[in-house]
Amino acid sequence: MTMYDKADYEHAVAVIRSYTAQQTGVGLVLGSGLGGLADALADAVTIPYTEIPGWPQSTVVGHSGELVIGRLEGCWVVAQRGRAHYYEGYTMQQVTFPIRVMQLLGVRTLILTNAAGGLNTGYRTGDVMLLNDHINLVGMTGNNPLMGPNDESIGPRFPGMTHTYDRDLRRLAHQVADEAGIKLHEGVYVCLSGPSYETPAEIRMLRIWGADAVGMSTAHEVLVARHAGMRVLAFSGITNEAIDDPDHETDTNHEEVLDAGKVIVPKLTTILRGVVRTLA
Ligand code: HPA
């Protein structure tokens, strides 16, 4: 298993600092088909992931691989344009390495986005959901990124997860969405490993569990961010409606996931702008 320690994170930070000394209190993680959000950053400095030691490279179509540091509504943010996934063969420590680097860069508020399938039958393709909780199936079944030696200078051995998705930030997101006339659902995200999409029986099971959206990221990054004491806000862009019937005419595919991103990016950009304007 690839394990990292603080020296590895500090090494990555030193390289990023050689590009810019700009302090950034807010971090953004941009999911599948949502990287276009980084175009909204002004005075941007772009650092390819290949230049940052230890940084996992994304191999997936729809995920570019660069760190962008720039201003959004007067607020300096550090944005991951593209993320690595567990299904690409990385360990959980590798997948969440960027969150540790953001911690050492001074990020205190982390905003994550992902592409997800809509389990809630009230959700439509193109909708946006605010996460108020998650079910981390991958972590629950023995692949939690916080497993292994714990560095107390980074975070506690047994972090609580009751208040994972910050209530004040959620309230703010709703306020911004309401003012902009954007419908914003709020619900539970379930994280699976992928890369295969779910079977209809799995979809029906996930609904019984109380999940509203299903995806292959975010939950493990959120665990690391909360371990680091960051405030967390996260959104799912609903890129497809989950199929619960084996006789359904069509199948879920990555192209529809990327296509829906085009409708979702403008909505999320509006919401994120409004949120960070208040944080600035
Ligand atoms: N399932 C899992 N992950 C996803 C989906 C889905 O339907 N859509 C986008 N990411």
Query: Which residue owns the Cα nearest ligand 1 atom 3?
Result: 215
If you write DSSP's letter for every residue of the chain in order, what string do you get? -----HHHHHHHHHHHHHH-----SEEEEE-TT-GGGGGG-EEEEEEEGGGSTTPPPP-STT---EEEEEEETTEEEEEEES---GGGT--HHHHTHHHHHHHHHT--EEEEEEEEEE-STT--TT-EEEEEEEEEHHHHTT--TT-S---TTT--SS---TT-S-HHHHHHHHHHHHHHT--EEEEEEEE---SSPPPHHHHHHHHHTT-SEEESSSHHHHHHHHHTT-EEEEEEEEEEEPP--TT-S----HHHHHHHHHHHHHHHHHHHHHHHHHH-
pLDDT of residue 60: 67
- Residue of 217, 225, 228, 234 with catalytic role: 217
Instruction: Tell me, using a 6 A CB cutoff, whether residue 274 lines ligand 1.
Output: no
Instruction: Tell me, using a 6 A CB cutoff, whether residue 116 lines ligand 1.
Output: yes
Does the annotation count 88 as an active-site position? yes
Could you give the percent of the chain with pLDDT greater than 90? Answer: 79
Query: Which residue owns the Cα nearest ligand 1 atom 2?
Result: 215
Does the annotation count 115 as an active-site position? yes
Structure tokens at 260: 């829906």
Predicted structure pTM score: 0.94
Instruction: Tell me, using a 6 A CB cutoff, whether residue 214 lines ligand 1.
Output: yes
Question: How far apart are the CA of 255 and the centre of ligand 1, in A?
Answer: 11
89-112: b (≥16 Cβ within 10 Å) or e: ebbbbbbbbbbbbbbbbebbbbbb
Q: What is the pLDDT along the chain (280 residues), one digit of tens a residue?
A: 568 989 999 999 999 999 999 899 999 998 877 777 888 899 999 999 999 999 998 776 655 789 999 999 989 999 999 889 999 999 999 999 999 999 999 999 999 999 999 999 999 999 999 999 999 999 999 999 999 999 999 999 999 999 999 999 999 999 999 999 999 999 999 999 999 999 999 999 999 999 999 999 999 999 999 999 999 999 999 999 999 988 888 888 888 777 888 889 899 999 999 999 998 8
Cα separation of 52 and 17, whole Å? Answer: 11
The pairing of beta strand 213-215 with beta strand 128-136: unpaired
Per-residue pLDDT tens over the stretch 9-65: 999 999 999 999 989 999 999 887 777 788 889 999 999 999 999 999 877 665 578
- Residue of 58, 120, 236, 240 with catalytic role: 240
pLDDT of residue 279: 87
Instruction: Tell me, using a 6 A CB cutoff, whether residue 264 lines ligand 1.
Output: no
Instruction: Tell me, using a 6 A CB cutoff, whether residue 117 lines ligand 1.
Output: yes
Question: How far apart are the CA of 250 and the centre of ligand 1, in A?
Answer: 15
Instruction: Tell me, using a 6 A CB cutoff, whether residue 252 lines ligand 1.
Output: yes
Question: How far apart are the CA of 136 and the centre of ligand 1, in A?
Answer: 15
Q: What domains are there in the chain, each with its CATH number?
A: 6-279 (3.40.50.1580)
Ramachandran quadrant class, 132 (left: phi over 0; alpha: psi -120 to 50; beta: rest): alpha
